[in-house]
Amino acid sequence: MKVIILAGGMGSRLGSIADLIPKPMIEIGGKPILWHIMKIYSHYGFKDFIICLGYKGNVIKDYFSKFNHYNSDFTVDLRSGNLHFENCPYEDWQVTLADTGLNTLKGGRIKRIEKYIDSDINMLTYGDGVADINIDELVKFHKGHGKLITISGVKPPSLFGEILEKGGKVISFEEKPQTSKGLINGGYMVFNRKLLEYLTPDPDCDFEFGPLEKLAREGQVMTYKHDGFWECADTVRDVENLNKLWEMGKAFWKKW
């Protein structure tokens, strides 16, 4: 079973940060958020990844081609050029890095990596969102209903802080609490290979608008309701909040 990660976006709402690196390489606790997402999946035993590249994809290629360099201490013999790595993490992952076009929309990106997909059921997510989701339960839910795709319905954090009060007396201030109403697609999807028949490699082939809407009309989309936490690194404030949670030991997505 492959885990496909859409990592081609520009991160336009991240300001000058996105001028240097692609959105999935935004660091949380000193590691790219892409790494955090992969750790969530690998915790549940899913370690075969396909990363769909676009904007500044070479930055992501460089990170994985030099993964040990970036994640461990090493000694280099300058005469021979030999490297000796210390405390090397050696993640047991297989990672396919696929260029899917600079401006290609999500549906086109997925279709363009079709040749790397060799199993009937696979997983798909975005390269910027973390959650304390149980991947095993998600896959079990998908296999149980027999439809083509499962999306994870999540409660996004509020755009504003919330005042908790009782009888007019302020009890506490909550920064960006999870909203109590409405779900959005938070990624962490599972799909059957037949989904690819609804997509084209055209750069203008979207995913949510068009293919998913058609599948919904055909009754082929199910929602796995995730009642836990979810957040994406969409803005500078989001990134700051995720780093704050990590530093405080409250990273809700850290299951490993």
**178 in a domain, yes or no?**
no
Confidence of residue 89 (pLDDT cuts 50, 70, 90): confident
**169 in a domain, yes or no?**
no
- Identify the pLDDT of residue 19: 80
Whether the per-residue pLDDT at 132 is higher than 80: the answer is yes
Arithmetic mean of pLDDT over the chain:
90
CB–CB of 74/68 below 8 Å? yes
Distance CA 200, CA 109 (A): 9
CB–CB of 134/253 below 8 Å? no
**56 in a domain, yes or no?**
yes
- Identify the pLDDT of residue 146: 92
- Identify the pLDDT of residue 171: 59
- Identify the pLDDT of residue 176: 62
Q: Give the mean pLDDT of 136-143.
A: 98
Q: Running DSSP on this structure, what letter comes out for residue 13? A: G
Distance CA 256, CA 254 (A): 6
Q: How many residues does the chain have?
A: 256
Residue 120 is part of a domain; what is its CATH number? 3.90.550.10
Residue among 207, 178, 217, 212 at smallest CA distance from 104: 207
Residue among 178, 186, 196 at smallest CA distance from 223: 186
**256 in a domain, yes or no?**
no
Phi, psi dihedrals of residue 224, rounded to the nearest 5°? -90, 110
Confidence of residue 3 (pLDDT cuts 50, 70, 90): very high
- Identify the pLDDT of residue 50: 98
Q: Give the mean pLDDT of 64-79.
A: 91
Q: Based on the structure, what is the number of domains in the chain?
A: 1
Domain that holds residue 26: 3-154+183-247
Confidence of residue 140 (pLDDT cuts 50, 70, 90): very high
Distance CA 209, CA 202 (A): 14
**88 in a domain, yes or no?**
yes
**216 in a domain, yes or no?**
yes
**pTM of the shown model:** 0.89
**174 in a domain, yes or no?**
no
Return the structure tokens found at 135.
């991947």
**78 in a domain, yes or no?**
yes
Q: Give the mean pLDDT of 211-219.
A: 93
- Identify the pLDDT of residue 35: 97
